[in-house]
Amino acid sequence: MVLEKTIFILIIFSITLLIATYLTYFERKVAAFLQDRLGPDRAGPFGILQPLADAGKMFFKEDFIPAESVKLLFILGPGIAMFTACMTGAVIPWGDQLQLFGRTIDLQIADVDIGILYVVGFVSIGVYGIMIGGWSSNNKYSLFGAIRAGSQMISYELAMGLSLIAIVMLTGSLSVREIVEQQAGVWNVFYQPLGFLIFFICALAECNRAPFDLPECETELIGGYHTEYSSMKLGFFLFAEYINMFISAAVIATVYFGGYHFPFMHSLGLSENVVSILGILVLFLKIFLFIFIFMWIRWTLPRFRYDQLMHLGWKILIPLAILNMVGTGGFILLSTKM
């Protein structure tokens, strides 16, 4: 039992890292496609070995720590960013049950009672990596990046949590597995279109993706919070961002788009195991679709100005999310009375 879980955790972990590695390649290819270029095409066929070359370069670069920095925190920053990014995947159900060697295997690392709050919790402490890294660099651009990251996270977390509350009200459970199971018929996005939109925008902001990449915007802040970082520490920050993107897409797919469910999954006449494996593939298809939308937005929209960012978060998204929550509550009350 323990061995089973360990192997499963290792598989999920390596898949997450592999996907995050190849997202860098994917991003450059999407950018090239949107800008009518070729993108990386030198390393291997279609440039498929480019991420490995990049990683090799990152490892062999000089690892520089500024003299005036706070050394311990400077090293801790990227570590925290990476750790929190990797931890969130633990409560996501990657598929239904699988019957292997006469045993039933749950395709989820931990079915925690409060799964969805666990996700919110790890997202909310993810900003510490950026803030600690930016502050300890002892550079004003890094500091500005860190401050921006802090205020942006807090502003968008509220709307994100409020839109999730509406989902929890519909489902009546905080467990992610339960939320997915209830979407066997109709996906949550059809009940919660507004909630989905708010959640999606907040997910973009929480991942520091354009148009919300103010903590690291090159034109104003050089590199933002990672200005002073080099070598694999910089690599960790960038890598954590891609893991975050993968996990956010996974959360969106599980919470709003039915997770591993797909239409007519039980009327195909296939065995349980085949349906489960198809479910996993469908989930990954949904995840990649959202990742593509993330990239599409990044290479299409210009960056917000700082006051526009705050205006959108506090004066538009939060009132809308509260309205959505109250509306959902009223809808549930009416439908149970009738």
Partner 1 sequence: MTATLFYILAIVSVVGAIAVIAARNPVYSVLCLVVTFFAIAGQYVLLNAQFLAIVHVIVYAGAILVLFLFVLMMLNLNRESEPLQPTLIKVIAVVSGGMLLLTLVAALRGVDQIPLAGVQDTQLGLVKNLGRLLFTEYVAPFEISSILFLAAMVGAVTIGMRSKSDKREIINHL
Asked if residue 310 binds partner 1 (CB under 8 A), the reply is yes
Task: For residue 312, give Cα distances in angstroms to 131, 240, 316.
Answer: 22, 25, 5
Q: How far apart are CA 147 and CA 107, in angstroms?
A: 39
Min dist CB 124 to partner 1, Å, is: 3
Nearer to partner 1, 153 or 312 (CB): 153
Among the listed residues 114, 197, 275, 277, the single contact to partner 1 using CB under 8 A: 114
Stretch that binds partner 1, among 38-46, 125-133, 234-242, 328-336 (CB under 8 A): 125-133
Token pair of 297 as six digits: 């937005």
**Cβ distance 175 to 111 under 8 Å?**
yes
Among the listed residues 15, 48, 124, 314, the single contact to partner 1 using CB under 8 A: 124
Site string for partner 1, 58-77 (x = CB under 8 A): ---------------x----
The residues that bridge with 99 in the sheet, in sequence order, are 104
Q: What residues from 84 to 113 belong to the interface with partner 1 (CB under 8 A)?
A: 112-113
- Other CB atoms within 10 A of residue 57 CB: 11
- CA-closest candidate to residue 328, choices 162, 179, 200, 177: 162
CA atoms within 13 A on the CB side of 265: 24
Stretch that binds partner 1, among 6-14, 50-58, 140-148, 230-238 (CB under 8 A): 140-148
Min dist CB 274 to partner 1, Å, is: 35
Angle at 58 between CA 48 and CA 298, to 5 degrees: 60
Among the listed residues 127, 160, 179, 245, the single contact to partner 1 using CB under 8 A: 127
Asked if residue 281 binds partner 1 (CB under 8 A), the reply is no
Task: For residue 259, give Cα distances in angstroms to 7, 79, 163, 189, 218.
Answer: 22, 30, 18, 11, 36
Min dist CB 178 to partner 1, Å, is: 12
How far does Cα 48 stand from its chain's mean position? 24
Kindly report the backbone phi and psi dihedral angles of residue 104, in degrees, each rounded to the nearest multiple of 5, phi listed first: -100, 125
Site string for partner 1, 150-179 (x = CB under 8 A): xx-xx--x---x------------x-----
Helix H or strand E segment including 100: strand 98-100
Token pair of 309 as six digits: 């960012």
Min dist CB 256 to partner 1, Å, is: 21
- CA-closest candidate to residue 110, choices 130, 90, 137, 126: 90
Nearer to partner 1, 43 or 310 (CB): 310
Nearer to partner 1, 52 or 112 (CB): 112
Asked if residue 128 binds partner 1 (CB under 8 A), the reply is yes
Stretch that binds partner 1, among 126-134, 222-230, 257-265, 269-277 (CB under 8 A): 126-134
Min dist CB 281 to partner 1, Å, is: 31
Stretch that binds partner 1, among 146-154, 236-244, 246-254, 273-281 (CB under 8 A): 146-154
Nearer to partner 1, 80 or 291 (CB): 80
Token pair of 146 as six digits: 């860190």
Q: How far apart are CA 131 and CA 150, in angstroms?
A: 7
Q: How far apart are CA 227 and CA 223, in angstroms?
A: 4
* Interface with partner 1 (CB under 8 A): 73, 112-114, 117-118, 120-121, 124-125, 127-128, 131-132, 135, 143-144, 146-148, 150-151, 153-154, 157, 161, 174, 306-307, 310
